[in-house]
């Protein structure tokens, strides 16, 4: 302590100036990166608020001269996806019907799996955990054909429950990993104490583990929601007209143009499709960071 | 009196490793049994087996006359206090204490009555609405005790409950546990690696090492008549002096000869002990070696030894000398004038001497 102060009193001014300079440099750098990442969003947003006329004549980065929400209205309920012209609205609804149960179920099963693997070890539990981890690294493409067969046999082909099933199965590896890694930090003695208190498997899970799990639940929900909402490959492979998720609809809107390409509608549709994931991040983002870095649970 | 706990021929393996080898322990109602030993000796595993948290490979555990085979922890009529306290972090103190009753379906009025009683007993009434994270170590310890007390079990199990506390608090809580034991007349099994805790709390001590029971006895038996070299060395602080010696039989009794570097061997006479083999290890507690003139008795003998070190410990002064190639600690009175390098008359009191076989380590007298 004394060393530092004596050094400071030697050249206090130079020190302070250098600190301020460094700070500003850092801020400038961060600002630059932020700008770089925000630029596409800016272009999307401004383009979606312009009329087609203005897009044709004006510059890409210019602000709209006249703000119009026509493109948004059309994207929501009037744009054509192939021969159907109902906008993204029905597909947006499909995505919600798909993502909410799929996120809920995969998180719930992941929590129970993680709880078992962390605290109710059985012969071969490590092997099973390794296999589940392996599941995280299997590329989507590999499972397409076998999954199509399975869905066919189950009679779920082309339905939303079928898609939910696919996402739950595919998500289990990750959700199990998240919860297992979180639950191993909870002392084993807690389970022992609860056992002596007379609590059983589900009672301990429900009364002791779940209340501790908010940070990891948030992480898992954000992760799973982003994955499932943004998924295109499973959506396009295992759905049929009427059950397609919003990502597939977006693709169809952008690709099925008649005559002039309506950039403003495409942009509006893209923003609408991305809105829910952005919303989830904004609402739960701070828990996400906290959950990812959460260490042991002090008892 | 009936046995409250009986462990018969208990064997516990982890894979091919034998953790507990043929353990036989029993306690009467109201006894305070302490399992003590170095870490890794299996004492905590034994406690977990008694609680039913670990399956056993062979043998029997009988609590209050009931064989515990296949009985789950909650039905064993036990309560347990853990080293980390294992309080449920998201529940208030009150809910921590009543959780077990809630699970067992005890009605709310009884729960509240018992909670109030235990909270008063442990003086934790002001803490009932706090969460474990807002409590100090000592307060958490009390809550953990409360959770055990509220069950009113046949048998209390403690797994190193004081080892996370600082030294001062540890002594306070030790006294508190002792008082609880006296007030309740409850039967307790207590695991610790701290031999002072073992000595002060127990009515019966089990010393363990490498999964085997080394000795079972009252604190005074363990301290004064250790069954082997391990127990002699482990129990007591400073440790018992264990000196290699040679015995010579002559007409009137046995002469004990302890070699010294570059000096005449130290010779003590022991006319009281039974026949001893030629080579023995002699065990003398530090308090059995005093400054000459400060100890009298039939079996006290004096000899001149060189002082190597003097350690002040407040109430006593420990004087270190060297005999038989080993450091010897003697417990002198606080005002001793002994100084390092000095040659001084030491008084050796053989009233409580122990002899051990150097090969087997077993007690000889």
> What pLDDT digit, counting tens, does each position of A164-180 carry?
999 999 999 999 999 99
Question: At A292, is the pLDDT very low, low, confident or very high (cuts 50, 70, 90)?
Answer: low
- Crossing angle of the two packed helices A263-293 and A214-230, in degrees rounded to 10: 150
- The Cα A146–Cα A139 span in angstroms is 13
**Taking the domains of chain A in order of start, what are their residue ranges?**
2-73, 89-293
Q: Is B45 on the interface with A (CB under 8 A)?
A: no
Contact B233, B242 (CB under 8 A): yes
Q: Is B97 on the interface with A (CB under 8 A)?
A: no
How far does the CA of residue B11 sit from the closest CA of chain A (Å)?
21
Give which of A185, A198, A199 to mutate to test B binding, by max B Cβ within 10 Å.
A198
- Give contacts of B156 with chain A, Cβ < 8 Å: none
Give residue-wise pLDDT tens across range B214-270.
999 999 999 999 999 999 999 988 999 999 999 988 777 788 889 887 788 888 888
Contact B318, B330 (CB under 8 A): yes
Q: Is B89 on the interface with A (CB under 8 A)?
A: yes
Of residues B48, B83, B103, nearest to A197 (C-beta): B103
Nearest Cα residue in chain B from A210:
B90
- The Cα B121–Cα B63 span in angstroms is 26
Other C-beta atoms lying within 10 Å of the C-beta of residue B338: 17
3-state helix, strand, coil in chain B (%, to 5): 30, 35, 35
Which residues does residue B348 pair with via DSSP β-bridges, in sequence order? B289, B301
Q: Cβ separation of A196 and B90 shorter than 8 Å?
A: no
- Give contacts of A211 with chain B, Cβ < 8 Å: 90-91
Q: Cβ separation of A196 and B48 shorter than 8 Å?
A: no
Q: Is B14 on the interface with A (CB under 8 A)?
A: no
How far does the CA of residue A279 sit from the closest CA of chain B (Å)?
29
How far does the CA of residue B105 sit from the closest CA of chain A (Å)?
10
- Give contacts of B79 with chain A, Cβ < 8 Å: 196
Distances (CA, A) of A106 to A178, A220, A224, A280, B41: 12, 9, 8, 17, 43
Q: Cβ separation of B86 and A203 shorter than 8 Å?
A: no
Fold of B241-356: OB fold (Dihydrolipoamide Acetyltransferase, E2P) (2.40.50)
- The Cα A247–Cα A280 span in angstroms is 17
- The Cα B338–Cα B323 span in angstroms is 17
Q: Cβ separation of A194 and B88 shorter than 8 Å?
A: yes
> What SS3 state is found at A57?
helix
- Residue B26, Cβ density class (10 Å: 0-12 exposed, 13-18 middle, ≥19 buried): middle
**Token pair in block for residue B214:** 């080394």
Q: Cβ separation of A196 and B100 shorter than 8 Å?
A: yes
The predicted pLDDT at position A299 comes to: 37
* CA-wise closest residue to B324 among B261, B262, B247: B261
Nearest Cα residue in chain A from B51:
A196
Contact A258, A105 (CB under 8 A): no
> What SS3 state is found at B244?
strand
Q: Cβ separation of A193 and B82 shorter than 8 Å?
A: yes
Cα torsion A261, A59, A54, A48: sign: positive
The predicted pLDDT at position A255 comes to: 84
Listed as ranges, residues in chain B with pLDDT below 50 are none
At CA B335, angle to CA B332 and CA B337, rounded to 5?
Answer: 80
- The Cα B91–Cα B77 span in angstroms is 24
State the alpha helices, DSSP H only, in A49-156: 52-57, 70-77, 89-119, 125-136, 140-154
Q: Cβ separation of A298 and B133 shorter than 8 Å?
A: yes
**Token pair in block for residue B300:** 């006290």
Q: How high does pLDDT run on average in chain A?
A: 87
Element (H, E) at B190: strand B187-192
- The Cα A246–Cα B86 span in angstroms is 47
Q: Cβ separation of B74 and A192 shorter than 8 Å?
A: no
pLDDT of A6 higher than 60: no
Which residues does residue B244 pair with via DSSP β-bridges, in sequence order? B281
- Give contacts of B72 with chain A, Cβ < 8 Å: 195
Q: Cβ separation of B85 and A299 shorter than 8 Å?
A: yes
Cα torsion B209, B215, B220, B224: sign: negative
Q: Taking the mean position of all CA atoms in its chain, how far away is CA B124?
A: 29
Q: Cβ separation of A197 and B82 shorter than 8 Å?
A: no
pLDDT of A285 higher than 70: yes
How far does the CA of residue A280 sit from the closest CA of chain B (Å)?
26
Give residue-wise pLDDT tens across range B148-170.
999 989 999 999 999 888 888 89
How far does the CA of residue A1 sit from the closest CA of chain B (Å)?
29
**Taking the domains of chain B in order of start, what are their residue ranges?**
3-234, 241-356
- Give contacts of B90 with chain A, Cβ < 8 Å: 208, 211-212
Q: Is B46 on the interface with A (CB under 8 A)?
A: no
Domain A89-293 is found in CATH 2.60.40.1260: no
Q: Is B86 on the interface with A (CB under 8 A)?
A: yes
> What SS3 state is found at B179?
helix
Local structure of residue B78 (DSSP, 8 states): E
* CA-wise closest residue to B99 among A235, A199, A139, A200: A199
Question: At A81, is the pLDDT very low, low, confident or very high (cuts 50, 70, 90)?
Answer: confident
Count of pairs with CB atoms under 8 A, one residue in A, one in B: 67
How far does the CA of residue B167 sit from the closest CA of chain A (Å)?
21
Of residues A194, A199, A297, nearest to B89 (C-beta): A297
**Token pair in block for residue B187:** 């039967």
The predicted pLDDT at position A10 comes to: 55
How far does the CA of residue B54 sit from the closest CA of chain A (Å)?
10
- The Cα B23–Cα B11 span in angstroms is 7
Could you tell me how many helices (H) and strands (E) chain B has, helices first? 8, 21
- The Cα B208–Cα B173 span in angstroms is 24
The predicted pLDDT at position B293 comes to: 84
Contact B284, B346 (CB under 8 A): no
Q: Which residues contact A27 (CB under 8 A, 6 or more apart)?
A: none
Other C-beta atoms lying within 10 Å of the C-beta of residue A190: 23
Exposure b/e, A137-168, CB count within 10 A at least 16 = b: eeeeeebeeebbebbeeeebbbbbbbbbbbbb
Other C-beta atoms lying within 10 Å of the C-beta of residue A218: 22
Contact A46, A40 (CB under 8 A): no
Nearest Cα residue in chain B from A193:
B86
Contact B25, B206 (CB under 8 A): yes
CATH numeric code, B3-234: 3.40.50.300
The predicted pLDDT at position A9 comes to: 54
Nearest Cα residue in chain B from A197:
B100
């Amino acid at each position: 302590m004394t060393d530092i102060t004596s050094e400071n009193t030697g050249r206090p001014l130079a020190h302070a100036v250098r600190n301020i300079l460094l700070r500003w440099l850092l801020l400038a750098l961060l600002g630059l990166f932020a700008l770089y990442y925000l630029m596409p969003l800016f272009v999307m947003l401004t383009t979606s608020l312009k009329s087609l006329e203005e897009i044709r004549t004006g510059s890409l980065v210019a602000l709209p001269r006249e703000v119009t929400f026509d493109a948004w209205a059309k994207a929501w309920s009037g744009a054509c996806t192939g021969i159907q012209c109902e906008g993204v609205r029905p597909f947006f609804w499909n995505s919600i019907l798909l993502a909410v149960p799929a996120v809920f179920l995969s998180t719930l099963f992941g929590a129970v799996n993680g709880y078992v693997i962390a605290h109710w070890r059985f012969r071969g539990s490590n092997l099973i955990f390794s296999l589940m981890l392996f599941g995280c690294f299997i590329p989507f493409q590999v499972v397409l054909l076998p999954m199509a067969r399975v869905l066919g046999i189950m009679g779920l082909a082309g339905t939303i429950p079928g898609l939910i099933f696919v996402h739950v199965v595919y998500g289990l590896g990750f959700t199990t990993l998240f919860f297992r890694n979180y639950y191993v930090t909870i002392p084993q003695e807690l389970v022992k104490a609860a056992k002596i208190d007379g609590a059983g498997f589900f009672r301990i899970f429900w009364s002791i583990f779940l209340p501790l799990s908010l940070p990891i639940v948030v992480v898992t929900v954000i992760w799973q929601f982003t994955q499932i909402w943004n998924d295109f490959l499973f959506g396009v492979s295992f759905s049929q007209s009427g059950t397609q998720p919003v990502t597939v609809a977006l693709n169809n809107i952008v690709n099925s143009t008649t005559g002039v390409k309506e950039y403003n509608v495409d942009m509006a549709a893209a923003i609408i499709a991305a809105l829910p994931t952005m919303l989830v991040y904004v609402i739960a983002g701070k828990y996400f960071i906290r959950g990812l870095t959460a260490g042991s649970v002090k008892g | 009196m009936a046995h409250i706990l009986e462990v018969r021929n208990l064997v516990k393996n982890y894979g091919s490793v034998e953790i507990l080898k043929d353990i036989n322990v029993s306690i009467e109602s109201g006894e305070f049994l302490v399992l003590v030993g170095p870490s890794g000796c299996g004492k905590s595993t034994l406690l977990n087996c008694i609680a039913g948290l670990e399956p056993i490979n062979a043998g029997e555990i009988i609590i209050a006359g009931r064989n515990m085979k296949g009985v789950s922890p909650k039905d064993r009529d036990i309560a347990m206090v853990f080293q980390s306290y294992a309080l449920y972090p998201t529940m208030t103190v009150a809910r921590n204490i009543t959780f077990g009753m809630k699970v067992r379906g005890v009605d709310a009025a009884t729960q509240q009555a018992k909670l109030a009683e235990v909270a008063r007993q442990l003086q934790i009434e002001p803490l009932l609405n706090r969460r474990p994270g807002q409590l100090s170590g000592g307060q958490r310890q009390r809550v953990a005790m409360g959770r055990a007390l509220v069950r009113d079990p046949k048998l209390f199990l403690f797994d190193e409950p004081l080892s996370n506390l600082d030294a001062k608090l540890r002594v306070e809580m030790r006294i508190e546990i002792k008082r609880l034991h006296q007030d309740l007349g409850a039967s307790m099994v207590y695991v610790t690696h701290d031999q002072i805790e073992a000595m002060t709390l127990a009515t019966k001590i089990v010393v363990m090492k490498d999964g085997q029971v080394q000795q079972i006895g009252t604190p005074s038996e363990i301290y004064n008549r250790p069954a082997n070299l391990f127990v002699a060395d482990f129990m007591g602080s400073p440790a018992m002096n264990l000196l290699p010696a040679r015995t010579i039989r002559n007409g009137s009794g046995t002469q004990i000869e302890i070699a010294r570097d570059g000096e005449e061997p130290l010779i003590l006479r022991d006319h009281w002990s039974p026949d001893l083999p030629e080579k023995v290890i002699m065990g003398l507690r530090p308090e059995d070696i005093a400054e000459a003139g400060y100890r009298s008795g039939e079996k006290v003998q004096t000899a001149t030894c060189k002082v190597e070190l003097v350690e002040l410990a407040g109430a006593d002064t420990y004087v270190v000398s060297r005999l038989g190639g080993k450091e010897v600690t003697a417990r002198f009175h606080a005002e001793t004038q002994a100084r390092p390098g000095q040659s001084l008359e030491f008084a050796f009191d053989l009233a409580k001497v122990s002899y051990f076989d150097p090969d087997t380590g077993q007690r000889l007298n």
